[in-house]
Amino acid sequence: MGDIGELAGRLREFAAVREWEHYHTPKNLVMALAGEVGELVAEFQWLTAEESARVMDDPAAAARVRAELGDVFGYLVRLADVLGVDPVEAALDKHRENERRYDPAVYRGTYRKAPPLA
């Protein structure tokens, strides 16, 4: 996979060269992220579960989905960079918490919300 640190650096430079840093407050970036997620959701809203699983088989839909996912990922990495958060480490921490919350012996096959960890 591509390198996330390089992506963060390029997005930082993109904003600096255009003198757009004043737009890139965490508040504004989280809104931009929400807006792009809305566009990604819209690609899937009328699809059945089965159609959504085959969405990448159609070249036109696949290109749109990949482009929207790229927009979402870009804003999320930019937000993480501005906040000084390593998004992979943050996700791994939540993953480790979920491994403790969701014992496979209890939750196998059926999801339901687990109580928070004590």
- The binder of a copy of itself chosen from 12, 20, 115, 116 (CB under 8 A): 20
Q: What angle do CA 56, 52, 50 make, to 5 degrees?
A: 115
Q: Please report how close the Cβ of residue 115 comes to a copy of itself at its closest, in angstroms.
A: 15
The DSSP output letter for 108 is T
- The binder of a copy of itself chosen from 18, 60, 115, 118 (CB under 8 A): 18
Q: Please report how close the Cβ of residue 118 comes to a copy of itself at its closest, in angstroms.
A: 17
The contact mask relative to a copy of itself for 30-69 (x = CB under 8 A, - = no) is: xxxxxxxxxxxxxxxxxxxx--xx-xx--------xxx-x
The DSSP output letter for 42 is H
Q: How many angstroms separate the CA atoms of 26 and 30, rounded?
A: 6
